[in-house]
Protein backbone atom coordinates (compact mmCIF):
# COMPACT_ATOMS: atom_id res chain seq x y z
CA UNK A 1 0.00 0.00 0.00
CA UNK A 2 1.32 3.47 -0.83
CA UNK A 3 2.10 6.01 1.87
CA UNK A 4 -0.81 8.19 0.73
CA UNK A 5 -3.18 5.25 1.00
CA UNK A 6 -1.96 4.35 4.46
CA UNK A 7 -2.43 7.93 5.60
CA UNK A 8 -5.90 7.91 4.13
CA UNK A 9 -6.84 4.70 5.95
CA UNK A 10 -5.48 6.02 9.26
CA UNK A 11 -7.26 9.37 9.05
CA UNK A 12 -10.52 7.71 8.13
CA UNK A 13 -10.28 5.17 10.94
CA UNK A 14 -9.40 7.85 13.47
CA UNK A 15 -12.19 10.26 12.48
CA UNK A 16 -14.71 7.43 12.22
CA UNK A 17 -13.85 6.26 15.74
CA UNK A 18 -13.79 9.75 17.25
CA UNK A 19 -15.86 12.03 15.04
CA UNK A 20 -15.15 15.72 15.71
CA UNK A 21 -18.01 18.18 16.22
CA UNK A 22 -20.46 15.28 16.46
CA UNK A 23 -23.34 16.99 18.26
CA UNK A 24 -26.58 18.80 17.59
CA UNK A 25 -26.43 22.62 17.72
CA UNK A 26 -29.08 24.50 19.66
CA UNK A 27 -28.31 27.93 18.22
CA UNK A 28 -27.68 26.89 14.62
CA UNK A 29 -28.68 29.43 11.99
CA UNK A 30 -28.62 26.78 9.23
CA UNK A 31 -29.64 23.11 9.39
CA UNK A 32 -30.07 20.51 6.67
CA UNK A 33 -30.57 16.74 6.61
CA UNK A 34 -28.76 14.78 3.93
CA UNK A 35 -29.17 11.23 2.73
CA UNK A 36 -27.28 8.89 0.45
CA UNK A 37 -29.75 6.03 -0.17
CA UNK A 38 -27.18 4.00 -2.11
CA UNK A 39 -25.17 3.44 1.05
CA UNK A 40 -27.60 4.30 3.84
CA UNK A 41 -25.71 7.39 5.03
CA UNK A 42 -28.11 9.64 6.91
CA UNK A 43 -26.79 12.80 8.54
CA UNK A 44 -27.79 16.30 9.58
CA UNK A 45 -25.41 19.25 9.30
CA UNK A 46 -25.72 22.31 11.55
CA UNK A 47 -24.01 25.65 11.07
CA UNK A 48 -23.97 28.99 12.83
CA UNK A 49 -23.16 31.73 10.36
CA UNK A 50 -22.54 35.35 11.29
CA UNK A 51 -21.65 38.01 8.73
CA UNK A 52 -20.87 35.31 6.17
CA UNK A 53 -18.38 33.65 8.52
CA UNK A 54 -18.91 30.05 9.66
CA UNK A 55 -18.66 30.49 13.44
CA UNK A 56 -19.54 26.90 14.28
CA UNK A 57 -20.44 23.73 12.43
CA UNK A 58 -21.44 20.27 13.64
CA UNK A 59 -23.18 17.11 12.50
CA UNK A 60 -25.25 14.19 13.73
CA UNK A 61 -26.46 10.93 12.29
CA UNK A 62 -25.03 7.69 11.07
CA UNK A 63 -23.19 6.52 8.04
CA UNK A 64 -20.33 4.46 6.76
CA UNK A 65 -16.76 5.20 7.81
CA UNK A 66 -16.07 7.32 4.72
CA UNK A 67 -19.15 9.48 5.28
CA UNK A 68 -18.50 9.90 9.00
CA UNK A 69 -14.83 10.71 8.60
CA UNK A 70 -15.53 13.10 5.73
CA UNK A 71 -18.16 14.91 7.83
CA UNK A 72 -15.80 15.05 10.80
CA UNK A 73 -12.91 16.47 8.78
CA UNK A 74 -15.21 18.87 6.96
CA UNK A 75 -16.41 20.41 10.21
CA UNK A 76 -12.83 20.95 11.34
CA UNK A 77 -11.92 22.37 7.96
CA UNK A 78 -14.71 24.91 7.42
CA UNK A 79 -14.97 26.29 10.95
CA UNK A 80 -13.72 29.88 10.90
CA UNK A 81 -13.88 30.13 7.11
CA UNK A 82 -16.30 32.21 5.07
CA UNK A 83 -19.21 30.52 3.32
CA UNK A 84 -17.57 31.40 0.02
CA UNK A 85 -14.29 29.72 1.02
CA UNK A 86 -16.21 26.61 2.12
CA UNK A 87 -18.01 26.45 -1.22
CA UNK A 88 -14.80 26.93 -3.17
CA UNK A 89 -13.10 24.15 -1.21
CA UNK A 90 -16.09 21.88 -1.78
CA UNK A 91 -15.78 22.42 -5.53
CA UNK A 92 -12.12 21.41 -5.34
CA UNK A 93 -12.87 18.46 -3.06
CA UNK A 94 -15.52 17.21 -5.47
CA UNK A 95 -13.19 17.46 -8.45
CA UNK A 96 -10.48 15.65 -6.48
CA UNK A 97 -12.63 12.64 -5.55
CA UNK A 98 -13.80 12.41 -9.15
CA UNK A 99 -10.16 12.29 -10.20
CA UNK A 100 -10.31 15.63 -12.03
CA UNK A 101 -8.04 17.53 -9.69
CA UNK A 102 -4.65 16.20 -8.61
CA UNK A 103 -4.08 17.88 -5.23
CA UNK A 104 -0.34 17.21 -5.44
CA UNK A 105 0.29 19.03 -8.69
CA UNK A 106 -2.59 21.51 -9.06
CA UNK A 107 -3.16 24.59 -6.86
CA UNK A 108 -5.83 24.00 -4.23
CA UNK A 109 -6.94 24.90 -0.72
CA UNK A 110 -7.60 21.36 0.47
CA UNK A 111 -4.83 20.86 3.04
CA UNK A 112 -5.58 17.80 5.17
CA UNK A 113 -8.60 16.94 3.03
CA UNK A 114 -6.13 15.62 0.47
CA UNK A 115 -6.30 12.26 2.24
CA UNK A 116 -9.65 11.73 0.52
CA UNK A 117 -7.93 11.64 -2.83
CA UNK A 118 -7.94 7.84 -2.44
CA UNK A 119 -11.74 7.81 -2.81
CA UNK A 120 -11.33 8.29 -6.56
CA UNK A 121 -10.26 4.62 -6.69
CA UNK A 122 -13.72 3.65 -5.40
CA UNK A 123 -16.34 5.41 -7.56
CA UNK A 124 -19.20 3.91 -5.53
CA UNK A 125 -17.93 5.77 -2.45
CA UNK A 126 -17.66 9.25 -3.89
CA UNK A 127 -21.19 10.04 -2.73
CA UNK A 128 -20.32 8.91 0.78
CA UNK A 129 -17.40 11.37 0.87
CA UNK A 130 -19.30 14.24 -0.75
CA UNK A 131 -22.61 13.88 1.16
CA UNK A 132 -21.47 15.97 4.16
CA UNK A 133 -20.36 18.75 1.80
CA UNK A 134 -23.55 18.62 -0.25
CA UNK A 135 -25.49 18.79 3.00
CA UNK A 136 -23.49 21.75 4.30
CA UNK A 137 -24.11 23.49 0.99
CA UNK A 138 -27.80 22.67 1.34
CA UNK A 139 -27.84 24.15 4.84
CA UNK A 140 -26.06 27.33 3.70
CA UNK A 141 -28.46 27.79 0.79
CA UNK A 142 -31.45 26.91 2.98
CA UNK A 143 -32.41 23.76 1.10
CA UNK A 144 -34.99 21.59 2.89
CA UNK A 145 -33.26 18.29 2.32
CA UNK A 146 -30.37 16.89 0.33
CA UNK A 147 -30.33 13.49 -1.35
CA UNK A 148 -27.58 12.17 -3.55
CA UNK A 149 -30.20 10.60 -5.81
ZN1 LIG B 1 -21.48 5.63 2.74
Q: What is the pLDDT of residues 64-120, one digit of tens each?
A: 999 999 999 999 999 999 999 999 999 999 999 999 999 999 999 999 999 899 899
> At residue 17, does pLDDT exceed 70?
yes
The pairs formed by 109-113 with CB atoms below 8 angstroms and a separation of 24 or more are 109/85, 111/77, 112/11, 112/73, 112/76, 112/77, 113/73, 113/74, 113/77, 113/89
Centroid of ligand 1 to alpha carbon of 117 (angstroms): 16
Centroid of ligand 1 to alpha carbon of 84 (angstroms): 26
State which residues have CB under 5 angstroms from ligand 1, the bound ion: 39, 41, 64, 67, 128
In this structure, what are the phi and psi dihedrals at residue 26, rounded to the nearest 5 degrees? Answer: -65, -40
Is 94 within 8 Å of 74 (Cβ atoms)? Answer: no
Give the pLDDT score at 56. Answer: 98
Q: How far apart are CA 136 and CA 143, in angstroms?
A: 10
> At residue 10, does pLDDT exceed 80?
yes
- Region of residue 9 (left: phi > 0; alpha: psi -120 to 50; beta: else): alpha
Amino acid sequence: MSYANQLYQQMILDHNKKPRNFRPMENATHVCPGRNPLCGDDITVYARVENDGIEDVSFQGKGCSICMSSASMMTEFVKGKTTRQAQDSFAEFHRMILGELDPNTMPNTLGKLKVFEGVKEYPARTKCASLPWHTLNGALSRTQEVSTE
